[in-house]
Amino acid sequence: MSPPPTPTTFDPAEDARLVERCLAGDARAWDALVRRHERLVYGIARSYSLPEEDLGDVFQDVFTALVRGLPRLRDARALVRWLASTTDRVALATALRRRRERAMSTDPEGLEALPADEPWIGTDLEVHEEQALVRLALGGLSERCRVLLEALYYEDPPPSYAELSRRLGVPIGSLGPTRARCFERLRQGLAALAGGGGIRSGEQPTFGTTGGTSRARRARKEQAASASEETEDTP
Amino acid sequence: MKHTPSRHLDPRTSLDYLEGLLPGQRRREVEEHLGGPCPGCHDLMRDLGLTVERMRRDRTPEVPAWLHERALAVFRPTVSEPAVAGLMETIARLIFDSWAAPLPAAARRAVGEARRLGFELDGYTIEIEIEPESAGLLTLRGRLAGPDPMLCAIEVTAEAERFIVLPDAHGAFLLERVPAGVLNVVVSTPAGHFRLPTVAP
C-alpha cells in the first residue's frame, strides 16, 4: 500500500500575494499570476472562433486591463469573474467587428447583408468561471494528487487504472482510495475559494463588471449581435 | 425504509457510482439510499457530480507560448530594485501650474475647473490635468512626451490607494475615480523613476 498523498493546504490568498508583488514591480509574480489565469482567458476567447491575430490582440487587451486593475482585484474569485467578463466583452467586440468587416467587404450596402439567423457566437461564462476555479483548486494540491485527478478527469479518454498504476508507480488497488482523498482535498480547496471575499471591501472596480447571470449575459450578446453594433466597453 | 449510518455514502463510493465502477448490488444499494431522505448524501453526490462534470467538460488546451508572451509583455516593472528604489528616484521639476500662473481666458474656457500641471523629467515632460468628478473623486488625464512613452508607467497614490496607468503610443493617459486628496505621482521610464512634487488639493 502506498503512503497517502502529501496533504497540501489550498491557499485562497495566493492571488492577493501575487497582486501585491506585481504592484511592487515583481515581473516573476506577474508571470505566475498570468499562468494561474491565462487558460480562462484563452478558453473564452477561443469560443469566439477568432483568427490567431485577433486572439493575440484580445489576450493583450485583457491583460493590459488587468495590469491597470490590479490594485482592486486581489481575490481569486473576483479575479476570475472579472477576467471572464472582460475577456467576453473584448472578444465579443472583436468578433462583431470582424463580422461587419466581412459583410462590408462583400457588399457595398454592408450591414444589410448580415443574415438575421447567423449562429450565436460566444460562450457560457459561468461554466468557464467554474472550470477556472476547479483548476485553481487543483493547482493547490500535491503534485501526485494533481497528476492523478488531471489524468482521470481531464484526459480524453481517461487512462485505464492499469495504465495509471504504471504511470504513477503505485499499486492499482491504492488508486481508488487515493483518488477519493485527493478529490476531498479538491473540494476543500473549492470551498475555500467560495468563501473568498471578492473585490476589496466596500469598493467597486473602476472598470467592467463582475458578474451577471448567464441568461443576462446571453441576452446582452444576442442584443449586441442582432444590432451588429460594436460594444464600447472595452477596457 | 430504514437508513442506517453505515449505508451513508462516502466520497469513494460516490465517485465509483458516478463513474459506473460499482458492481450491480452495491450500485442498487446506493440508488436505494439516494432515493431516501438523506440530504447529506444528496449534497455529496450532487457536489461531486458537478465537479466531475466541470472537469470533464473542460477541454481548453494549454495556452500557446506566444500568447503567454503577449500577456507577459504588457507588464512593466515599476520598481526593478525594490531595496534601493527610493534612492534611484529623481524629483521631477515643476514647470507649470495653472493655479500659480492662471491660464489665458481661452484656455480656461477649454479646461473648465481642471487644474493643469507640467513637469520636466530627464528627457521627458509630463502634463497632467486634474479635474474634479463628484463625491470626492478626481479624473487625471495627461500626456507624457518623450521617447517610447509606451514603455513608461505612471503610478498615482491618493488616500492610500494606488493606481497604475500605462500611456498609449502617443503618451496619453487617463485615470478616473481617483480619490481627491494629496497626490503622489511616480513616473517610471527606461531612464529611471521620477517622483513628481506632491500635488496638494
Extents of the domains making up chain B: 5-57, 71-195
The percent of residues above 90 in pLDDT, for chain B, comes to: 32
Longest dimension (CA), chain A: 73
Query: B181 to chain A nearest CA, in Å?
Result: 18
Integer Cα distance of A121 and A46 in angstroms: 11
Q: What is the length of chain B? A: 201
Between chains, do B12 and A39 touch, taking CB under 8 Å as contact?
Answer: no
Q: What is the pTM of this model?
A: 0.59
Q: How many CB pairs under 8 A join A and B?
A: 112
With cell 508572451, the residue in question is B69
Task: Report residue A116 as a C-alpha cell.
Answer: 438575421
> Which of A59, A71, A135 is nearest residue B70 as measured by Cβ atoms?
A59
Tell me the per-residue pLDDT of B149-200, one tens digit each, with 9 for 90 and over: 777 778 888 887 777 777 887 889 988 888 888 898 888 776 677 888 888 8
Which of B101 and B198 is assigned the larger pLDDT? B198
Query: B103 to chain A nearest CA, in Å?
Result: 31
Cis peptide before A157 (omega within 30 of 0): yes
With cell 482521470, the residue in question is A152
Cβ neighbors of B89 (< 8 A, separation 6 or more) are B186, B192, B193, B194, B195
Percentages helix, strand, coil for chain A (3-state, rounded to 5) are 65, 0, 35
Question: Looking at beta carbons, which residues of chain B come within 8 Å of A46?
Answer: 60
Tell me the per-residue pLDDT of A17-66, one tens digit each, with 9 for 90 and over: 898 889 888 888 999 999 999 999 999 999 998 999 999 999 999 999 99
Question: Looking at beta carbons, which residues of chain B come within 8 Å of A135?
Answer: 58
Judged by a CB distance cut-off of 8 A, whether residue A153 touches chain B is: yes
The angle formed by the CA atoms of residues B84, B86 and B91, to the nearest 5 degrees, is 140
Q: Are B174 and B129 in contact (CB under 8 A)?
A: no
Phi, psi of A28, rounded to the nearest 5 degrees: -70, -35
Which of B1 and A139 is assigned the larger pLDDT? A139
Integer Cα distance of B129 and B115 in angstroms: 6
Arch. (CATH architecture) of B71-195: Sandwich (2.60)
Q: Are A43 and A59 in contact (CB under 8 A)?
A: no
**Whether ipTM exceeds 0.95:** no
Q: Which residue of A has its CA nearest to B188?
A: A25
Judged by a CB distance cut-off of 8 A, whether residue A38 touches chain B is: yes
Between chains, do B166 and A68 touch, taking CB under 8 Å as contact?
Answer: yes
- Nearest to residue B201, comparing CAs of B139, B133, B130? B130
